Amino acid sequence: MIRQVLLAFIPIRYWIALIFAIILISVGGEYIHLAKIIGNVLLIIISVKFAILLHEIGHLLFAKLVGGTPRRMVLGKKHKIVQTTIAGIKIVLHSDFNSGLAYTAFDNLKHIRLKLLLFYSGGFIVNFIIAGCLYFLFGFHIDLSNAIYPISAFGIANLFVGVIALIPYRSTYNGLKITSDGLSILKIPSYKKEDLLNLIYINELLDAYDCMEEKKYKKAITLYENYKHKVDDIDLININLSIAYLKLGDFEKSTSIMETFLPIDENASSHYKSYIYNGLAWNYLLLNKIEEADTYSDIAHKSNYQEKNIKATRGSVLIEKGNFKKGKEFLIEEVDFKYPNNHTLSAAMYLEVAFLKLGEYKKSKKYSAFVKKNIHLLDIDEKMLYDRLQEKITS
């Protein structure tokens, strides 16, 4: 785990660049200047990661100062490396650490717009304070070829992260659209009363999400059902309810919940449209309704082709249909043998079939061994698909 955490902050490509810089220093002469440039650039890039960490801490710190309840800090994307709880705050680190999210709840809505302003601002305020202190104490040196400047690198990184956060823009996290701090601040005056009232129930929503992560699906269902009666926007709640029932093995119930979204209005601006299509596709795949799964996985992929779960569903359906070559292309990047989890194992068990049918037996055995070694990590839905695929292989 320590190695994975270290690589999240300093990936292998950074180590390669560092080794290259050391080689240049050993060569000497004019190459030393190039080595110093590489070293300073590496310092700035690595410092950005620590500045992001401080940025998210800033959000949670300011939330606490204005009476909020800090709940969660998520660092990076892709595969979860470590998860821990410090002072009641769940901290999650992923393998691709280049971004962060902070979650908090507000039980008291008095002066809530001001509280939100300070919460959204907390990240870049901390970054600017750090950058300002370092600048006035030590100054920033930008002659990268002259010497190595770790303090300047850290100060510049904090300044950079703070400025970027202030720019109003939208990005995506696991396929969902999220707003930058700058855009979130600009949106505060336009929040409707019901949007602000919903903030009271964020704790319940995060409790349910914690239960999903801990695979306490029955408890999550109870929390989601209770939460659903308190808010107007229930699309996300129903999607999560469907997933919870699916993970308990009640595929019919899960599918019936997803089918309540049908027909889907293509002109609607739902943030969850691609997830609804993908959820329908996965449920139909489980029920062995391959044509329906094909239809909805294709629509989901066309509407959100970068999201990993949507890609994985599409690849799995294609392999079920016998399109092994194309299905393999969807799934091949979804497996990382260093990170056995539900996502990588699901992709691997379909790749085992694809490579077997394509006559690449050595690769097929490689994916088969990966799944068998970690089969205890599969949930009910994935185990059912695995057994079904094994029947096809042996028949």
Assigned domain for 160 exists: yes
Tell me the C-alpha distance between 237 and 259, whole Å: 14
**What's the whole-number average pLDDT of the chain?**
90
Tell me the C-alpha distance between 8 and 13, whole Å: 11
Assigned domain for 86 exists: yes
Amino acid symbol at 287: L
Query: CA geometry: angle at 278 spanning 273 and 280, to 5°?
Result: 100
Assigned domain for 369 exists: no
Tell me the C-alpha distance between 202 and 221, whole Å: 16
Assigned domain for 321 exists: no
Q: Helix, strand, or coil here: 66?
A: coil
Assigned domain for 15 exists: yes
The pLDDT value recorded for residue 174 is 67
Of the pLDDT bands very low, low, confident and very high (cuts 50, 70, 90), residue 391 is confident
Contact indicator for 329, 350 with CB cutoff of 8 Å: no
Beta-ladder partners of 91: 73, 84
- C-alpha closest to that of 215 among 383, 377, 386: 377
- Whether the per-residue pLDDT at 268 is higher than 80: the answer is no
- Whether the per-residue pLDDT at 39 is higher than 60: the answer is yes
- Pairing status of strand 170-173 against strand 176-179: antiparallel
Q: What range defines the domain where residue 102 resides?
A: 2-191
Assigned domain for 372 exists: no
The pLDDT value recorded for residue 146 is 75
Total domains, the chain: 1
Of the pLDDT bands very low, low, confident and very high (cuts 50, 70, 90), residue 283 is very high
Q: 239: which 2 tokens?
A: 């999607």
Tell me the C-alpha distance between 17 and 288, whole Å: 49
pTM: predicted TM-score of the whole model, two decimal places? 0.87
Of the pLDDT bands very low, low, confident and very high (cuts 50, 70, 90), residue 70 is very high
Assigned domain for 386 exists: no
Assigned domain for 144 exists: yes
Tell me the C-alpha distance between 156 and 44, whole Å: 7
The pLDDT value recorded for residue 143 is 77
